[in-house]
Homo-oligomer: A and B are copies of this chain.
């Protein structure tokens, strides 16, 4: 039997998955005021391997710091992840860590919980290739410079636009969206970084003023031994269409070659895809 989901709450332990965790006064629920992080947990033959756990815990801490939320220490998360994985009887699984500012009117402090959720077939199938449509994100590519209250690069719980963009992509017959800045540059997907290969250089969008998330999968690829130069630079959509290959990367879905962009067929080279996939390890 495969368990579909396990939920565990800091201070309460593992729950029945359907059991509520957040009260009607929790600002994570009423205002998206909190942060999260997510990664893949895979069985390596002897035990569960949480992909890039230290990096994800570090990014969650950075998100919490930007929001001025006191985060649990890493050891508490690691213990809670262990407790949850003891109850997990399925295969490879998505781990999500969630931290809210807590209740607005009672002084109980932050709410921290995690979920383990079976990978859905669609996500796994998208590793073979995705059709992507570009969607304006509204912001110029430098909107987040010197404006920390805009929470650029912070993985907040306020993801309504991200999920709305994926619904719009689905309406247009695509699996994913690529956000484009008001001045015409590729930014990121709603839950992925974008990579492209041209003239022997593997490139991605710079973090910082663009407000995009600092992708851990992208960092893992940058740290690998690959036959290309590496760059962080802005790229327009016509330039992307002329590249040798375009890929989306994210922690749970992994590498997804972009096989169609705004209706134009793309054919990322299979050898490059294989090298990138090997770099992120799945």
Contact = CB atoms under 8 A, between A and B. Distances in A.
Interface of A: 4-5, 7, 9, 15, 17-34, 36, 67-68, 96, 98, 100, 103-106, 113-115, 117, 135-140, 143-144, 147-151, 154, 156-165, 167-168, 177, 182, 211
Contact of A20 (B21, B31, B36): B21
A155 to B, nearest CB: 10
A151 B161 CA distance: 7
B25 A22 contact: no
Q: How many copies does the complex hold?
A: 2
Contact of A9 (B17, B24, B25, B162): B24
A5 B105 contact: yes
Nearest to A12: B20
Contacts of A104: 117
A32 B157 contact: yes
Nearest to A139: B138
A160 B158 contact: yes
